[in-house]
Amino acid sequence: MDYLWSPWRYRYVAQKEPRRDCVFCTKAQQSTDQENLVLHRGLKNYVLLNLYPYTNGHLMIAPYAHVGELGALEDAAWREMADLTRKAEQALQKAYQPEGINLGMNLGKSAGAGIADHIHMHVLPRWHADANFVSVVGETRVLPESLADSYSRLKPYF
């Protein structure tokens, strides 16, 4: 039998109680960007790597404002989020040369939002056949690059 190890996920899987604090608000307030995987800080939003990525280079853009609906986000923050989404696409193209890119938001818990009270845009590179059997059968993702390496690869483009 073969085993795939992902010890970096244990802290998340073993968490008994739901988080009471907002991870996006907490990361926005901390000054250790590399440690928190924050790639860029704008005026109204910031760009960070997803701690539990679907693919290497999986980014998120989150507003500093703690809002759970697009309608609650001020216009300037929405415009900056759109601009940073374009910048993220360009950075991923340069750093990873993907065959495609997924953009998306899950608004609300029923829509799949892991953190429903703080909107965030996902931007992730995709390659043909990257959703392999392991994700479907084993509920495990195989990522060939560490988060630290992804950070180092993408940071110059922000």
Which has more pLDDT, 29 or 18? 29
Check residue 109 and give its pLDDT: 84
How many CB atoms sit inside 10 A of residue 53's CB?
19
| Model confidence pLDDT, tens digit, residues 76-127 | 999 999 999 999 999 999 999 999 999 999 888 888 778 889 999 999 999 8
Q: Give the architecture-level CATH label for domain 19-157.
A: 2-Layer Sandwich (3.30)
What pTM was computed for the model?
Answer: 0.78
Check residue 105 and give its pLDDT: 92
120 is catalytic: yes
How far apart CA 22 and CA 12 sit, in angstroms, is 14
Q: Which of 40, 58, 120, 122 is catalytic?
A: 120
pLDDT-derived band of residue 61, with 50, 70 and 90 as boundaries?
very high
Structural domain spans, the chain: 19-157
Q: Are 45 and 63 in contact (CB under 8 A)?
A: yes
